[in-house]
Structure 1
Amino acid sequence: MQLGPRPPRWLRGRDKECGVLLDLLRAARSGHSAVLVMQGEAGIGKTALLDYLVDAASDWRDLRVAGVESEMELAFAGLHQLCAPLLDGLEGVPAPQAEALGTAFGLRTGRPPDRFMIGLGVLTLLSEHAGDQLLVCVIDDAQWLDQASAQILSFVARRLAAESIVMVVAARASEDEQAWAGLPLLTVHGLNKADAVAVLESVVTTPLDSRVRERILAETRGNPLALVELPRWLSSAELTFGPEQAAGGSVSGRIEERFRRRLEPLPDETRRLLLIAAAEPLGDAGLLWRAAERLGLGMDAASPAEAAELIDVWDTVRFRHPLVRSAVYRSAGQRDRQAAHLALADATDADRDPDRLAWHRAHAASGPDETVAAELERSADRALAHGGLAAAAAFLERAARLTPDEAERVERELKAAQTMVHAGAFERALQLLALAGRRPLSELQRARAEVLRAQIAFASNRGHEAVPLLLAAARRLEPLDLELALDTYVTALEATLFAARRVGEPGAVEVARAARNAPVPLRPRRSDLLLQCMAVLQVDGLAAAAPLMRRVVETYRAEELPVEEGLRFLVLAGALACDGWDLPGWSALAGRHLEFAREAGALNALQFALNSVVYPHIFGGDLVTAGALLDEADALAEVAGTTLHPYAAIGLAALRGDVEHGEPLIAAAKADAVARGEGLVIALTSWANAVLCNGNGDYAAALAHCREFLGPVEDDGRMTLLPVGTQPGGWTLAELVEAATRCDDLATAVAAAELLTETAEICGTDWALGVAARSEALLRDGSRAEELYREAIDRLGRVGLRVELARAQLLYGEWLRRSDRRADARPHLRHAHDSLTAMGVEAFAERARRELAATGETVRRLTADTRKELTARELHIARLAADGRTNPEIGSELYLSRHTVEWHLRKVFTKLDVTSRRQLRTALARPAP
């Protein structure tokens, strides 16, 4: 297959790798995007393979970016380098995306952009240009990209589908691979012996002794750069008789050392010019010459380096290899480096690039300098405004180093550590806190450092270790900063929630009592009411806390909130609504939290918001939307470089009822939670396993899972120990009643039903009272049982709990059938079966089918409508299109390009045999033939 107007040049020993690259181009020419990550050591040939790819796609437009070690702390520097040639088309990008890109690249001022919106903007920018001409994007030395750029490009790579774009990433295998994990991988190894010999002999003009050749081949390990450069490193005698001593260390280290030796014979002026070029990552020849002029260097200083093939200076500055840049910079003395950075600072436009100017001045500083430190702090503020948390932390950390005043230095170190915590750089934050801890700290500073350490423990683990740390920090803060102390108590109680501390357990009660005994602020805040409510719930129980819970939910639903407060406290207010079985309140607060998190681009908060908002959709029977939200959470984890939280996936798997998929997922989540001590997930897995088993009729296993979480029945017949609040304990009680009655364990069933009824009467919501009535009905006979089933169906139907309603109809139908009332049972079982099948709650639907068969009615096994022909993503896109969303709107919601949405819709139309969007709504509801 012809791939371009001319065949690409051949690379010795790389037939396999070149074939893989050509396959990517073929896929893109057929309308499918292709992504590949190439990994291998320095000098192994990754850059040559990228050049081969670009050469093979000579009729395509190519975009290139190379990570530079000195730019790793400048947010979006690599992304800007890749997108710069396309920014003249920014006007064609939807306004929110264009705004996010402009802010991230410093072209506009504004609020910190949403990382998702930046990623979608890049995806749209690339996609729209690929619509006119096929596009190949090559990213070299990806291990040196700044964190923000790596996250966004990884996100874009995972969302490419039908854009006719090829993206190939080259990175060193020894570096952190998290950003690119899961993408198609090609590991580039050294050349085989025959090819290595051919390469070596092609650059050596004198005959080689066979023993010398074998030694050279062994030391270079087939590394092409080492083989090509070798004749430059060795004298004629060494080529004849072998190197004087065996080389040690890694191949890349030895190559860099050889490059360093090649610098020694160069004139001093040339080495100084090379150092300026090495310290200036943009490759801007004009900037290089302006900086060189400040050091008295002329253009002729470059000639010896160009003759030695170390650098090429024309419109841009390009080193022969990144290892040359490293060798130049690392071999220079400290004073020479400072002089180079000072010259670059003097030559940098302060208006166009104030951050790089500050960075060069920081590297040029020979000691503490408040002026430079203040500039760095202003750069940190700008980085935060652009969404560059990692860059802001780096600016603040270096600002702290240059701060002369000891107290101000500590303040900047604490500020940098706080920024690192927000960025998820916990290890670096702890290192900085340890450094600050060696200095004289005020009591308030010491307490703030303790809070940060506790926050890191909580954010990185979600286990029980954070609780005592947060409690100690809050107590220390009380006389120093009351508001910060109260907020820390909230975090401590939040930690007890995630650790699933049980009511009456000493650690949780201690936190709650300390919070209640803290001084009352002169002007109580919403968060103080939230703290009071959580403390009462822990110490005095649900009955005492219920009125406060309703106040908190109403307050956070009705009142305007600053973004920071919404991000911090809405998740807890939503948890209280959930504990109170208040579905409308929970759904509203979870949705509001999601809006705040999306608006702020707060990745960690967004993960929790997505997991929380999934559950109202699950109980409402909208498993498609729940799955789509989980897809978004998965995409978020890709951007953030984190592991997807399992909270929502557990519930969705349980309701779907697929044992083959659900059991391993729930077991893995539980094993991980046990290892970390995150009791909330352990509790969720007990409930999820019980739902999965009850749906599939394995009641003994369901009973065992419930007991595992709830504990045995006390001597007085009452159930023991629920976690803080009622959820997921209340949900598990309902599963326990159903499982225990089917296993004839009436004592356990009665005790669980009584506790569930007590909880429902306190909460007073249709959700709680409906589930309690359904559970109690399992224990009753005759008219009382029928009355309870009808009450459950009525209450659950009022609040849109389609899954709980269908399960109530299923249980009612089962009871009627067992009471020899088959004709009465059929309508309820049929409604339950149809509803559960339509929702995708397959195990319970199969239970309903079997019960219908027992009444004498024949029902096909899990008959699905035409939506079963569609994948989950296709179904979600089809539903959005049927609701009237445009392709760009669908793309924005699902983080896909317009072209990928069009591609999915074409497949939807074909599968559903429709030709327009108007026909979609009818087709989606049409039963299968």
Structure 2
Amino acid sequence: MEAALRDQPGLRVLRTQGVEVESTIAYGALQRLGRPLIEYVDELPPAQQTALRIAAGVQQGPPPQPALVGLGFLNLLARAGMDQPTACVVDDAQHADAESLLALGFVARRIAAERACVVIAARSDETVQSGLAGVARLELGGLDRDAGSALLRGAARGLLDPTVAADYVSYTAGNPLALRELAIEWSAAELTSTAIAHSPIPIGRRLEQIYARRLRELPEASRRWLLIAAVESSGDVAAVNAAAEALGVPLDASGDAERIDFVHVRDTIRFRHPLIRSAVYAAAIGADRRSVHRALSDHARARNQLEVAAYHAAASVDRPDDDVAAELVAAADAAGARGGMLSRAHLLARASGLSTAVADRSERSVGAAEAALSAGAAQLALQQLDRVDDSTLNDVSRGRKLIVEAMAGLFLSDPEGLRGGLAKLIQAADLMSELAPEHARRTLLLALNSATVTEEQAVGADVRELAVRMRAASEGEDLTSVLLRAVSSFILDDYGDAAPLLREAVVALRGAAGEELPDFGFYVTVPCVALWDWDAAAELLRRAVRESRDAGALRDVDACLWILSAVEMSRMNPRAAAEYVDQSAELRRALGAIDEQAVNAGLLAWQGTPPAIVEQITHAVHEGGWGGISRMATGAIAINEIASGAYEAAFERLSPLVRHPFLQASFHHIPEYIEAAARSGNRSSAQWGLAKLESYAEASGSGAARGLRDRSRALLAEDEDAERHYLSAIDALVGAHRGDGARARLLYGEWLRRVRRRADARVQLQKAYDTFVDLGAVTFAERARREIQATGIDVISGAKPQDTLTSQEREVALLAARGATNGEIAASMFISANTVDYHLRKVFRKLEINSRRQLTDHFTDLSS
């Protein structure tokens, strides 16, 4: 790190290091790192100011989302960099708190155009790997043979043969610190005799044993002082002195340890090598270690450092202790209040282990599991549940435990967990219905989400059982009640009876307060799509995305973007669906989560991926328990089979979806089913489908449903009536349902060609072709092209050229075209304003424009 920072004139360097004793103080390392930048905090957007202050524990408020803390720190660095280039340097990051690592990982992934950088050094560690996933890294290897030999020979006392030195380089894998320590601890003669005798090389445990032997040569007072310094771990001289005084250790006892170069004492205390600290700690008996921890705990408590006090208190006991457990719970509550859910999980887990009563242990383990799950650490959450004795829990806590189990299955994409989630959530709601009815109602909504994820693959319960519970819990006029009533009616009742309740739910969702809507973002699609109202679904999901972005809840944003892509696929706009998927992928990169839980196979079908590959992916998704996604993909494959004229295959594929619909993923495929049936000679099935569609269109009042109904009527009508139905369908669908409108034009154009009205057919087919190309519906575009050629002319390429913008550049450009400021764009996309400006300059250059007005005109032209 020193080499990286050398010869950088004018660089402001902010330094901190991970400290083991502070590893559960949420955002502790970030707070130390950012303290010199306090003067800039007031210049940040209000939400980011608040997030940073709550994370630092200097302001009360709702716990901030980690991404919002990370964005605030990113913009803090960006602002500091405007005055002076700034580097954040973190050493021993393996000992830093998890929340600081997450925030620094976010910053490192989003830094682009700022005059700032982040440099982090750490040993290999699971928490580091998780928090810094996706961050560019340099894995440090050992010195080569020549350099390692030169180091060892130069440091050794006496002359060391180059061949012997080279052997040690090989033994140590060129680790320079190990080589230096060998030279300090052994003379050239000792190194040579050890090598000749092929004795074990003194690194790792052997080197630690050498330190332990030298430790025994020190006076008792020095050994005790070294133990205090080793236990304290942060290098705080005042804390070490206070504990030494409390334990009767002379303050000058460090002298002998300094003389043999075990430690350096200046403003802080630093061990020459980590293994020395390990040797000191390991050499002490348990009682001595505990007494030091107790003294340090008392000192931290007197300074109101409650988290540090709890850490030492936990290490000061060798058996369960309810007082210490209570301290850990208080520290966990403090961490949670700052948004430190991982720290809260670890503290509650430790409190559980120190609780004397089985009931307390179980309750605290459930709390630890909930905290871990909320931080996205599903595996850790399940590990905590393994320590729970169900017999000691009340019904509410048993329900909470079941919720964690069910949601962990979703987070981990575990097939068995996914399929069993619905049953567990229904059971949880039943358990909580009397003692915590509001919690039970929200659990039923979680169960609804589980049902839409797994669809018919759920085991142990079915959607009708869920609907019965939802109806029983739906008394009241709040938004939750309205939603429960509507969805339960949709599942249990005739569609005509359910439609008014579904409309009431959509109206209520549209009227929800801004901060309330994100809580219901996962549930808007069922009532909207049940009413064949994709416009409402898209509008509400976009609102949920905006509100979740503002709150920094990027995982919710990611999920809503994925659902938006499904909505756009459902109304045949694969290009818009792909843009939402790209935005989702960009957010996952910001969070360091690169992998998708389940591939959107339906979108691949729309984008022209060979059907055999799409079917393989769909099968894998289905086997993974993602029933909803696999049904969507099956529908997309069938629609593209219709586009290519494989009507019999599409009919066979769509029949189980339409004959056995499930919530929202398949019943709206009735229009495709009618087309496939009509064109494959299954006219009676087509007539059955049309009767169903007629009833949906009548009861829902949906313009889209009426347009699809009229398109389907035209397919089955006599020639004198077909044209009227086609024109009615086109009129109803060409707006928000441009894809379905283009399909109506395609069918109308084919009909016109068959009745020998070729000039009229060309007009409709050309419009259909242009729309398909614009929407990215490649299979339908190819069919329209063939139909145009069949009329005797070539296709007129009216498609507008696609720009060369990256997904992030395009999103910046779209927001700017809609009038958003750089600051608003930055907050929306979780980047800094500097990066927005950087992207806009690239956009202007690529599009050969020089103003925002031209940018607006560009995107208006593309959408026209």
Mean alpha-carbon deviation: is it higher for 644-653 or for 583-592?
Answer: 644-653
**SS of equivalent to 1:828:** helix
Question: Is 1:186 aligned to residue 103 of structure 2?
Answer: no
Identity of aligned pairs, percent? 34
CA distance in structure 2 between the aligned counterparts of 1:248 and 1:466, rounded to whole angstroms: 54
CA distance in structure 1 between the aligned counterparts of 2:362 and 2:478, rounded to whole angstroms: 29
Tell me if structure 2 keeps the 8 A contact 1:103–1:112.
yes
Residue in structure 2 matching 1:711, options 647, 656, 671? 656
Question: Is 1:870 aligned to residue 813 of structure 2?
Answer: no
CA distance in structure 1 between the aligned counterparts of 2:89 and 2:201, rounded to whole angstroms: 33
CA distance in structure 1 between the aligned counterparts of 2:449 and 2:830, rounded to whole angstroms: 31
Tell me if structure 2 keeps the 8 A contact 1:209–1:241.
no
Residue in structure 1 matching 2:502, options 545, 549, 556? 549
Which letter maps to 2:56? F
Residue in structure 2 matching 1:499, options 433, 445, 454? 454
Tell me if structure 2 keeps the 8 A contact 1:703–1:739.
yes
Which letter maps to 1:239? L
Tell me if structure 2 keeps the 8 A contact 1:410–1:436.
yes
Question: Is 1:807 aligned to residue 743 of structure 2?
Answer: yes
Question: Is 1:334 aligned to residue 286 of structure 2?
Answer: yes
1:96 matched to which residue of 2? 47
2:731 matched to which residue of 1? 794
Which letter maps to 1:429? A
Tell me if structure 1 keeps the 8 A contact 2:426–2:466.
no
CA distance in structure 1 between the aligned counterparts of 2:820 and 2:440, rounded to whole angstroms: 47
Tell me if structure 2 keeps the 8 A contact 1:512–1:536.
no
**1:741-779 deviation line (CA, Å, top 9, x unaligned):** 666665665555555445444433122232233244334
Tell me if structure 2 keeps the 8 A contact 1:154–1:638.
no
CA distance in structure 1 between the aligned counterparts of 2:180 and 2:200, rounded to whole angstroms: 17
CA distance in structure 1 between the aligned counterparts of 2:704 and 2:831, rounded to whole angstroms: 37
1:893 matched to which residue of 2? 828
Residue in structure 2 matching 1:80, options 31, 45, 52? 31
Residue in structure 2 matching 1:687, options 611, 621, 635? 635
1:203 matched to which residue of 2? 155
Tell me if structure 2 keeps the 8 A contact 1:127–1:897.
yes
Question: Is 1:585 aligned to residue 536 of structure 2?
Answer: yes
Question: Is 1:457 aligned to residue 390 of structure 2?
Answer: no
2:667 matched to which residue of 1? 730
CA distance in structure 2 between the aligned counterparts of 1:669 and 1:64, rounded to whole angstroms: 48
CA distance in structure 2 between the aligned counterparts of 1:731 and 1:256, rounded to whole angstroms: 69
**1:260-312 deviation line (CA, Å, top 9, x unaligned):** 55544344433444444444454444444444443344553333333343433
Which letter maps to 1:550? R
Mean alpha-carbon deviation: is it higher for 764-773 or for 262-271?
Answer: 262-271
> Structure 1 residue 362: deviation in Å?
3.5
Tell me if structure 2 keeps the 8 A contact 1:196–1:227.
yes
TM-score by length of 1: 0.81
CA distance in structure 2 between the aligned counterparts of 1:98 and 1:831, rounded to whole angstroms: 51
CA distance in structure 1 between the aligned counterparts of 2:276 and 2:629, rounded to whole angstroms: 50
1:821 matched to which residue of 2? 757
CA distance in structure 2 between the aligned counterparts of 1:172 and 1:708, rounded to whole angstroms: 53
Tell me if structure 2 keeps the 8 A contact 1:738–1:778.
yes
1:5 matched to which residue of 2? none
Question: Is 1:678 aligned to residue 632 of structure 2?
Answer: no
**1:824-858 deviation line (CA, Å, top 9, x unaligned):** 23333343344444445555445444544544555
Provide closer, same or farther for how the CA distance between residues 786 and 526 of structure 1 changes in structure 2, counting only shifts above 3 A. same
CA distance in structure 2 between the aligned counterparts of 1:686 and 1:852, rounded to whole angstroms: 29
CA distance in structure 2 between the aligned counterparts of 1:320 and 1:731, rounded to whole angstroms: 70
> Structure 1 residue 53: deviation in Å?
0.7
**SS of equivalent to 1:111:** coil
Tell me if structure 2 keeps the 8 A contact 1:152–1:639.
no
CA distance in structure 2 between the aligned counterparts of 1:350 and 1:617, rounded to whole angstroms: 60
Which letter maps to 1:116? A
> Structure 1 residue 644: deviation in Å?
5.4
2:609 matched to which residue of 1? 659
CA distance in structure 2 between the aligned counterparts of 1:289 and 1:506, rounded to whole angstroms: 62
Question: Is 1:424 aligned to residue 338 of structure 2?
Answer: no
**Which residues of 2 match residues 19-34 of structure 1 at below 5 A?**
none
Unmatched tracts of structure 1, length 5 or more: 1-49, 713-718
CA distance in structure 1 between the aligned counterparts of 2:426 and 2:650, rounded to whole angstroms: 32
1:8 matched to which residue of 2? none
**1:237-259 deviation line (CA, Å, top 9, x unaligned):** 6423217885499x655555555
CA distance in structure 1 between the aligned counterparts of 2:624 and 2:446, rounded to whole angstroms: 18
TM-score by length of 2: 0.87
CA distance in structure 1 between the aligned counterparts of 2:186 and 2:651, rounded to whole angstroms: 73
Provide closer, same or farther for how the CA distance between residues 444 and 845 of structure 1 changes in structure 2, counting only shifts above 3 A. closer
CA distance in structure 2 between the aligned counterparts of 1:92 and 1:398, rounded to whole angstroms: 39
Which letter maps to 1:460? L
> Structure 1 residue 737: deviation in Å?
4.5
> Structure 1 residue 904: deviation in Å?
1.6
Question: Is 1:413 aligned to residue 365 of structure 2?
Answer: yes
> Structure 1 residue 390: deviation in Å?
0.8
Mean alpha-carbon deviation: is it higher for 815-824 or for 541-550?
Answer: 541-550
Provide closer, same or farther for how the CA distance between residues 330 and 442 of structure 1 changes in structure 2, counting only shifts above 3 A. farther
Tell me if structure 1 keeps the 8 A contact 2:231–2:293.
yes
Which letter maps to 2:634? S
Provide closer, same or farther for how the CA distance between residues 311 and 707 of structure 1 changes in structure 2, counting only shifts above 3 A. farther
Mean alpha-carbon deviation: is it higher for 320-329 or for 87-96?
Answer: 320-329
Provide closer, same or farther for how the CA distance between residues 482 and 206 of structure 1 changes in structure 2, counting only shifts above 3 A. same
Tell me if structure 1 keeps the 8 A contact 2:106–2:591.
no
CA distance in structure 2 between the aligned counterparts of 1:812 and 1:232, rounded to whole angstroms: 89
1:911 matched to which residue of 2? 846
Question: Is 1:469 aligned to residue 420 of structure 2?
Answer: no
CA distance in structure 1 between the aligned counterparts of 2:223 and 2:576, rounded to whole angstroms: 61
Tell me if structure 1 keeps the 8 A contact 2:64–2:339.
yes
> Structure 1 residue 508: deviation in Å?
0.9
Tell me if structure 2 keeps the 8 A contact 1:512–1:538.
no
**SS of equivalent to 2:270:** strand
Mean alpha-carbon deviation: is it higher for 121-130 or for 624-633?
Answer: 624-633
**1:467-520 deviation line (CA, Å, top 9, x unaligned):** 3333444455556655555554444444232111179x98415633762796x6
CA distance in structure 2 between the aligned counterparts of 1:647 and 1:109, rounded to whole angstroms: 38
> Structure 1 residue 873: deviation in Å?
2.6
Q: How many residues align?
A: 858
> Structure 1 residue 341: deviation in Å?
3.2
Residue in structure 2 matching 1:698, options 622, 644, 667? 644
Residue in structure 2 matching 1:356, options 280, 287, 308? 308
2:837 matched to which residue of 1? 902
**Which residues of 2 match residues 565-644 of structure 1 at below 5 A?**
569-595=520-546, 597-598=548-549, 600-616=551-567, 629-638=580-589, 640-642=591-593
Tell me if structure 1 keeps the 8 A contact 2:263–2:269.
yes
> Structure 1 residue 728: deviation in Å?
2.2
CA distance in structure 1 between the aligned counterparts of 2:384 and 2:396, rounded to whole angstroms: 17
Which letter maps to 1:549? L
> Structure 1 residue 122: deviation in Å?
1.8
Q: Over aligned residue pairs, what C-alpha RMSD do you find?
A: 4.0
CA distance in structure 1 between the aligned counterparts of 2:216 and 2:224, rounded to whole angstroms: 12
**SS of equivalent to 2:339:** coil
CA distance in structure 1 between the aligned counterparts of 2:262 and 2:377, rounded to whole angstroms: 36
**SS of equivalent to 1:419:** helix
> Structure 1 residue 650: deviation in Å?
5.0
Question: Is 1:721 aligned to residue 657 of structure 2?
Answer: no
Which letter maps to 2:71? L
Which letter maps to 2:47? P
Tell me if structure 1 keeps the 8 A contact 2:605–2:637.
yes
Tell me if structure 2 keeps the 8 A contact 1:690–1:732.
no
Which letter maps to 2:118? M
1:129 matched to which residue of 2? 80
1:782 matched to which residue of 2? 719
Which letter maps to 1:594? V
Which letter maps to 1:123? L
> Structure 1 residue 729: deviation in Å?
0.8
Mean alpha-carbon deviation: is it higher for 432-441 or for 391-400?
Answer: 432-441
Provide closer, same or farther for how the CA distance between residues 907 and 575 of structure 1 changes in structure 2, counting only shifts above 3 A. same
Residue in structure 1 matching 2:58, options 89, 107, 121? 107
